[in-house]
Structure 1
């Protein structure tokens, strides 16, 4: 009967063998990814020829100064106002029903087209035309929408 193995000898690679194995792994990776590496090299060449790599290198060397300038620009009052307004507009848009917003945008487009057509005709509107227009169901619907919009805005401004 064979003797049981009591000691397992771990083979330690020398530094030279580790380097050789790393180099073989690297060459294998290059061979497997030849096309993507060539495309990456071409991209880097284009970036170098256009001066972008030089610009990025300079930017990285002066990163603290560039960061101070960027932060200084971002903390200016007009920029912070723009960011706050964008966030408020985003908050408003999350509360609106997308179907209603789409319908409103479509009707606004239609209204602008009709208004442009009216400008080309250069028609003068008289008092009787206004009275007649109020009876038009489309105009009456838009007026009702506008009055309700103004009512809601007024209630919101009261708070």
Structure 2
């Protein structure tokens, strides 16, 4: 008589990886987790509408109570005011290079999308000014709640 025993390996416990810290005392116990693709897709769709200057489409990606802070320090709390500012800038352009999303508490919802661009502007003297643009978006329920822009000129 032969007895065969099957030994099944224990299923490893999946540990969600989280890293980093936050200085806000109210959320300091949370660490950053990888986000999801949906908020990144939203920012990619916004970029396509922005390139096309389709302001009606762009407006749909933001909540009504938005906050946008540009790299020049201007703060907008309505899409219409932001649109007027964007419409004045007709020189230059950009290339969307990469984006990722992180989340402080996946159980609560809301993700922080970090997006990176190479841009160029034409100054009043006709010179081309190159810069790297970094944008930080906070997305909740597939709508942008706030957007902060940062800019670094490059040679």
TM-score (structure 2 length as normaliser): 0.20
Taking CA–CA contacts closer than 8 Å with sequence separation of 6 or more, which of the two structures ends up with the larger relative contact order? 2
Larger Rg: 1
Structure showing the higher strand proportion among its residues:
2
Structure showing the higher helix proportion among its residues:
1
TM-score (structure 1 length as normaliser): 0.19
